[in-house]
Amino acid sequence: MDKNSGSDDNHSGTAELQIWQLADCRFAYTLNNSQPVRCTWISDQPLFYSDFEDVTDEDMLFDDPVLQALERDIAQLREKTEAYEKIAKDFVVPENNTSRLFLEDASFATERVCSAPPSLDSLLEVLQQSRLASQFLSFAALQGVKLSPSRQVMDASYDRAGQVIWIRTDLDLPLQILLAARELRRMWQHKNGAGLHPLAFHPDFAVLINRAQTADQVAAMVRVAWELQLSGEKSAWMRLENSPLSDLSRAFAREAISDFRSIHSGSAARATLESWFLSERCRKADRQLIQQMLADYQGYAFSDNVEASRMIALDLLKALGKMPFGQNYLTPVVNQIISDPVFTDVRDRANANFLWFIKFERSFTEAEKEIKPSLPAKDSRPSALVIPLPSRDGGDPSSSRANGTTGAGGDVVFLSLPRGD
């Protein structure tokens, strides 16, 4: 204990305080009537010791199969990314690209107008260098579909009734290649039973089918560009690499570089499809479809039958992944696509609200039809009630009417419409 002593011999009013060193002591923590942790002698840097360790062993974390699988996936993704980065430098647009394009447009604007008819010969020649595009062209020729130039379309369009694919000729060649690949894939969908209009389905499955058809067209476009750059025509792939579609092209390239067999097996196209669904492109596609739903007033064949829409959607997705050669790249994941929220959920709030309104309106209409009883056929002819008035001579009005004569007073006729009108 502390010992204090004071001296006041000289009665000077001063006091002296003396402190002796305390004996060494220990202290411990008490947790739930136990002392798991103790401390060394008190000093400026005490050391703490624990009688036991109540922590998760780190070695157990390394043995977790989920973490091991995640580490393998991350390592594979890093390896694929690094492999593609080695060749991605060849597709970088130079800094003076904007000025170069301006000069090209300026020289084009000052040239004399050429009266020669527009032609797609150069486009067809380039498309023949891609195996997938050449197969599409051969299939189109067998089906009687032809590619024709036109300036009456925005960029490119497939006319089902006219059996023709219209492509603008005033676009540059890389853009024409990509648009032609997209419309050729749309024609393939139509001729192979995968081009059914999304509005023919229940609204939930209509959203999925519309997304899948659009993503499949983009995947075919990316694959054609990749095959062309392998053959030496790099303009289309360079356009993809320096466009908003670069995330989709890189997803395809990572799989194709790591294993070239993924092109024919469908792994590369499947990776592109998944990247499309994980992006914000679903929002734009959903908005366009919902606008068509709001404009539709009578519906299509299976729009109100959920089970029929589900079965037909499964068959359509299987037909959607069919290729002219190679494996069907959607067959392994058809059940996942139709049930996974990543593919089916409407993540945009505005689109989800409008879609709910459309489904509610249709369900209300169907319920109203079932509840409303069947009424007999109504007679549209008005009914008449004749009230005879007595004649002035006091005779019976019925007798005069029977004799073919009427009194001077005449008759009052009331016309009434059928009930319910």
| Largest distance between two CA atoms of the chain | 162
Q: What pLDDT does 215 receive?
A: 96
pLDDT digits (tens, 9 = 90+) for 44-83: 555 555 554 545 555 555 566 777 777 787 877 777 777 6
First to last CA, the chain: 109
Assigned domain for 203 exists: yes
Give every CB contact of residue 295 below 8 A, 6+ residues apart in sequence.
none
In this prediction, the residues of the chain whose per-residue pLDDT falls under 50 are 1-7, 22, 24-25, 52, 54, 115, 397, 400-408, 421
Assigned domain for 58 exists: no
Assigned domain for 413 exists: no
Dihedral angle, C-alpha 219, 220, 222, 224, nearest 10 °: 160
| Residue 293 · residue 203 · CB < 8 Å | yes
Q: What pLDDT does 303 receive?
A: 61
Assigned domain for 277 exists: yes
Residue 379 DSSP one-character state: -
Instruction: Give this prediction's pTM.
Output: 0.66
Please tell me the distance from the alpha carbon of residue 211 to that of residue 198, in angstroms, as a whole number. Answer: 9
| DSSP-derived secondary structure for 321-338 | T--SSS--TTGGGHHHHH
Q: Range of 334's domain?
A: 121-370
Please tell me the distance from the alpha carbon of residue 207 to that of residue 345, in angstroms, as a whole number. Answer: 9
What total of structural domains would you count in the chain? 1
Assigned domain for 326 exists: yes
Assigned domain for 35 exists: no
Which residues in 299-402 belong to E strands, given as ranges? 383-388
Query: Which of 292, 330, 337, 324 is CA-nearest to residue 187?
Result: 324
**Residue carrying the six token digits 């064949």:** 301
Assigned domain for 70 exists: no
Q: What pLDDT does 245 receive?
A: 92
Assigned domain for 21 exists: no
Helix/strand/coil for 384 = strand
Q: What pLDDT does 302 receive?
A: 56
